[in-house]
Amino acid sequence: MTEGAHRKTWKLSELASHVAGNLEGDGTIEITGLNSLEEAGTGELAFVANPRYLPELARTKASAVILPPDVPTEIPAIRSQNPYLAFAKIATLMQGRAAVPRGVSPDLIQGEGCRLGKNLSIHPRVVLGDNVTLGDRVTLHPGVVIGADSTIGDDSILYANVSVRNHCRIGRRVILHCGVVIGSDGFGFAPDGNGYYKIPQTGGVVIEDDVEIGANSTVDRGALGDTVIRRGTKIDNLVMIAHNVEIGENSIIVSQVGISGSTTIGNHVTLAGQVGVAGHLTIGDNVTVGAQSGITRNLAPKKRVSGLPVIEHKKWLKAASSFEHLPQIRKIVRTLQDRLTRLEAMLQNPPESSGETGGKQTPDTGKPEGGKQDDGHQ
């Protein structure tokens, strides 16, 4: 199949082959682009990866759709076990090849001993400190600043106003979005009785291959040793990662997460939006943490937790569903407490008898004690 930015249309059969999907229906249909079920029109390919959008499938005007194997449809389809991945691969294909390298801007400012790779795209107003190394096919957008003794690996892209401070190592195919700061000082201060004495942050940052970090996120350098982001991890916008944190491979860190210093996070971990992680903790592999949770203890592998402090996710859902009923529950508990208090008082101080029977009765017969029992015989 011919790939490239000049390509305007693809046959549905070509796209099915590209993602190793099963074609259903007319494979000669020409596809010009991708769109949502709701917005797609003639010539466009839609996809369904989330069951909540299935009602839109019957109303879509798309020419074809990417679907799981078991979802019925009356329009041509590409069947895939992973529709979202198939969509991603087709979107990448339609985007075309990377742009031709633009070369090095004449206003590049670089220090002594810099080593620049081949086929670079360095935009205006980029600054390189002493002994910076750039790999092949690196792209640096306007306003990027790279500190002394730092390395940027092959095929990495640093968007506008990214700052990489000294002694940082960025791997291959890394993407740093606008405003990312790598290697700023960790938050380290020693109380001296009157104020706080700044602790020198002498470590660096290591970001391994295929990591992507969203806009305005920060990764602090280590106090001693490095802060490390392992291969394939994806970090959203506005995430703060403190000194000497280590994040394992292929983890997902969603927007506004904050991770305190010296915490170790395993492989394939997901931290949803606004999760807070205390320092000096260990989070095992394949852990999932729900949004706005607070982690204050170590978590074993494969845990799925939510809440503050975190508990098992299913328990958290049950607890959360009870929150709106708490005022009513509180009122009922107070009523029951009042009734219990009155009952206890009655048991401790029983009311006195209101009258005399003329003789003490036995509990079983109710007859006067010592009297002759009348059994009906003389």
Catalytic residues: 243
Residue given tokens 């109380």 in the structure block: 191
Which string of DSSP letters, residue by residue, matches 49-68? -SGGGHHHHTT---SEEEE-
Cβ-proximal residues to 77 (8 Å cutoff; 6+ apart), any chain: 23, 24, 25, 64, 65, 66, 67
* H or E, element range at 347: helix 326-348
Assign residue 286 a region: left if phi > 0, alpha if psi is -120 to 50, beta otherwise? left
Which of 88, 94, 34 minimizes the C-alpha distance to 80? 88
Residue 374 CA: distances (Å) to CA of 128, 173, 288: 119, 108, 82
Q: Which parts of 278-317 are beta strand (E)?
A: 282-283, 288-289, 294-295, 304-306, 311-312
Contact 87, 106 (CB under 8 A): no
Cβ atoms within 10 Å of 231's Cβ, excluding its own: 16
Token pair belonging to 377: 């015989």
| Greatest distance between any 2 Cα atoms in the chain | 136
Rounded Cα distance between 35 and 235, Å, is 25
Query: How many CA atoms within 13 Å lie on the side-chain side of 26?
Result: 9
Contact 97, 3 (CB under 8 A): yes
